Structure 1
Amino acid sequence: MKQLSWLWVVIATQLLLGCATPPPKDPENLCAIYQENRSWYKAAKNTRDKWGVPVHVPLAMMYQESSFKHNAAPPMEYFLGFIPIGRASDAYGYAQAKTMTWDDYVRETGNTWSSRSNFDDAMDFMGWFIYKSHQINGVSKWDARNQYLNYHEGWGGYKRKTYNQKAWLIKVADRVDARSKRYAAQYRTCQENLDSSWLWRLFFG
Structure 2
Amino acid sequence: MNLFKKILVLSFPLSLIACATPPPENPENICDIFFENRDWYSASKEMNQRWGTPIHVPMAMMYQESSFIHDAAPPMEYFWFIPIGRVSSAYGYAQAQDATWDDYQRETGNNWSDRDDFDDAIDFMGWFTSKTNKINGISKWDAYGQYLNYHEGWTGYKKKSYNKKPWLLKVSRKVDTRARQYATQLKGCEENLDSSWLWRLFYT
TM-score w.r.t. the length of structure 2 is 0.97
Percent identity reads 64
Give the secondary-structure state (helix, strand or coil) at the position aligned to 2:179: helix
Deviations 1:81-139 (A, max 9, x none): x2222111010000000000000000000001000000000000000000000010000
Where does residue 122 of structure 2 map in the other structure? 123
Amino acid across the alignment from 1:49:
Q
Q: Does 1:38 align with 2:38?
A: yes
| Separation in structure 1 between the aligned mates of residue 125 and residue 10 of structure 2, nearest angstrom | 32
Larger mean CA deviation between 94-103 and 2-11 belongs to: 2-11
Deviations 1:3-50 (A, max 9, x none): 643432221211111110000000000000000000000000000000
Deviations 1:138-176 (A, max 9, x none): 000000011000000000000111000000100110000
Q: How does 1:161-176 map to 2 (within 5 A)?
A: 161-176=160-175
Where does residue 184 of structure 1 map in the other structure? 183
Q: How does 1:39-188 map to 2 (within 5 A)?
A: 39-80=39-80, 82-188=81-187
The alpha-carbon distance between structure 1 residues 162 and 2, as it changes in their structure 2 partners (threshold 3 A), is: farther
Amino acid across the alignment from 2:169:
I
Where does residue 10 of structure 1 map in the other structure? 10
Amino acid across the alignment from 2:138:
V
| Separation in structure 2 between the aligned mates of residue 60 and residue 29 of structure 1, nearest angstrom | 10
Amino acid across the alignment from 2:46:
N
Amino acid across the alignment from 2:203:
F
Regions of 4+ moved over 3 Å: 2-6
| Separation in structure 2 between the aligned mates of residue 9 and residue 138 of structure 1, nearest angstrom | 49
TM-score w.r.t. the length of structure 1 is 0.97
Give the secondary-structure state (helix, strand or coil) at the position aligned to 1:70: coil
| Separation in structure 1 between the aligned mates of residue 141 and residue 187 of structure 2, nearest angstrom | 15
| Separation in structure 2 between the aligned mates of residue 2 and residue 58 of structure 1, nearest angstrom | 47
Amino acid across the alignment from 1:129:
F
